[in-house]
A and B are shown apart, each in its own frame.
Chain A
Amino acid sequence: MLSKSQARTFFFGGTVVTFLIFIGLTIYSLAPGNDQTNHLAITDDVIKGKHLWETNNCMGCHSILGEGGYYAPELTKVIDRRGAPLIKAILQSPVPWAPNGRKMVAYEMPEEEAAAMVAYLEWIGKIDLNGFDRIVSPLAKDKQ
């Protein structure tokens, strides 16, 4: 039968080995050569958009890259689906946007903030998501 010290070796050994592989794979997948995100296309506007995305906790209702709340539509391909002008209008609206009865917060964003959000969403929309982009957004799928 297995002894306690063998069990301990299994624990520590397994942990160290898989952890090292994990670090190796992390370095591999973040290497510039394997970039799927157009990392170089991240402009100041995109960064500002990401900041706005975070400080307003948009992710509390919407999801992006499939992560977030499940209360409001997935936004990864939203620019393709709805177009930039509508998105800007929603962000600048003084009354809550609620086309189907479910309300969004009225952010009343100034023009440059709305533009930054759009820049961010445009950048997101171009990421290679290993096929998920075609599933998550039916209308965008038809366009491709």
Chain B
Amino acid sequence: MKYKSQQVAYWFFALCMLLFALQIVYGFIMGFARIGMDGLHDWIPFNTARAVHTNLLVVWLLSGFMGAAYYIIPEEAQRELVSVKWAYVQLISLALVGVLAITGYHFNIWEGRKFLEIPRELDYLVVINVLLFLGIILTTLYKGKRRTTTALVLTMGLVFAALLYLPGMIWFDSQVTDSFFRWWVVHLWVEGVWELIMGGILAFLLIKLTGVDREVIEKWLYVIVGLTFLSGILGTGHHYYYIGVNKIWLIVGGVFSALEPLAFLAMALFAVYMYRKGERNHPNKIALFWTIGSAIVSFVGAGLLGFAHTLPQVNLYTHGTLITAMHGHYAFWGAYVMIVLAIISYAMPNMTGRKRHDKTNGHLAFWLSNIGMLGMVVAMGVAGVVQVYLERRLSMDFMVAQEEVKIHFVVMLLNASLFATGIGLYIYEFIKYGRPTDEALEMKKEEEPALVH
């Protein structure tokens, strides 16, 4: 690590670890409720657990993206962040928004709009927080010595993500219009601008870990994000099939969302190919695992499993079933969770100066969490197929079908335990690394001069 201000990233990553752990606890609460063990119902009903589970996910991923930006931008722009003090203020306000929102959900203070449950009053705090963050990043870039495509793509992703939050804040009387613009946030985030953020982080990691020439990596980065927007923007239509808007979306959404997997396929091929091509044998193997893993699993979770229910003829039956939940888990896991865990794994030895990256624990964390997540997704997928068949094909009552799929949630919970063990190990390693040290600043320069292009 070259710049002292990069150390702020550590605290954003620490916030990630804390909120991720909590997210999993609420996941278990829901999983148990689904097999009839709902003893917490009076205090934490399912809707509270769900809002907390999904909002924690989004907040900690954003914290991870912000930490990644604070780590990457100084190195790309070749200068310190313009203000470390304000970065800490921003961190604290982010944590504050998160805590306030999550606490409110336990007291019936929310806006029941899936994924955007944060009340509008708090939204303004989110906006201020994000403006502060973008202010720091943009001025650093502007004053920097160098402007790279990697930094540009990452920053564009962050700026667009902020802009796209706004349509979600407009008030509508009609449920249909409300839902229509809710997707401008939710869909255009995960199948649009967040992919730019992912692509930026991925490119940075590949440059560092494989040593392939920056020009080559960044050229393909443009192709990937080009494919993302080309398919993803009009692909929004796959959420408009059956919510009460014009049939034109069945064609537009069907065609363009069917092309969305191409961007993820390109990402996977890109990562694997750069890895093969690379001559550098970087010692941080575990970061490489998470990096390549993210590119591959996102293709499966978002690309293949997304494609599985994106055609209107299929979605007519699967819309709003456990099939959606199955895809949601694997897509978020592969694309966003894994890329954040990759940048954390890469940054930790550099920030702390401790070389724990070849420890068995790290590898165990990778495999346990991945196998556990795959098991959960398969169990949910089976439950989803059975649900669709019984409820939507055979016209069975909702709760009758739910009884039939209960057993799959037992299987899911067993796999979730494996998963949680893996994540537990990851967090344990994170804690063992300790805090960033100033000695790490010196070390980096001598050890890996080749890293600075």
Contacts and interface: CB of A to CB of B under 8 A. Distances in A.
Contact of A37 (B111, B176, B247): B176
Interface in B105-136: 105, 108, 110-114, 117
A11 B266 CA distance: 14
A29 B240 contact: yes
A138 B395 contact: yes
A103 B34 contact: no
Contacts of B36: 101-102
A65 to B, nearest CB: 5
Interface residues of A, number: 67
B187 to A, nearest CB: 11
B421 interface: no
A41 to B, nearest CB: 10
Interface stretch (A2-10, A86-94, A110-118): A2-10
A131 B316 contact: yes
B246 interface: yes
Contacts of A64: 175
Contacts of B46: 60-61, 69, 71-72
B192 to A, nearest CB: 10
Contact of B174 (A7, A28, A39, A54): A39
Interface stretch (B213-221, B283-291, B337-345): B213-221
Interface stretch (B17-25, B349-357, B398-406, B438-446): B398-406
Q: How large is the interface on B (under 10, 10 to 19, 20 to 34, 35 or more residues)?
A: 35 or more
Contact of B219 (A4, A56, A61): A4
A109 interface: no
Contacts of B180: 26, 30
Q: B108, B174, B396 — which one has the most chain A CB atoms within 10 A of its CB?
A: B174
A57 B106 CA distance: 11
A7 B176 contact: no
A2 B226 CA distance: 14
Nearest to A129: B242
Interface in A45-79: 46-47, 50, 53-61, 63-74
Contacts of A56: 108, 112
Contacts of A135: 316-317, 392
A47 B173 contact: yes
Given A30-B177, A47-B173, A60-B112, A10 B222 contact: yes
Nearest to A71: B46
Interface stretch (B320-328, B364-372, B429-437): B320-328
B96 interface: no
Contacts of A105: 45, 47
A57 B110 contact: yes
In order of increasing CB-CB distance, the 6 nearest A-B pairs are: A60-B47, A138-B395, A57-B112, A66-B320, A132-B242, A7-B222
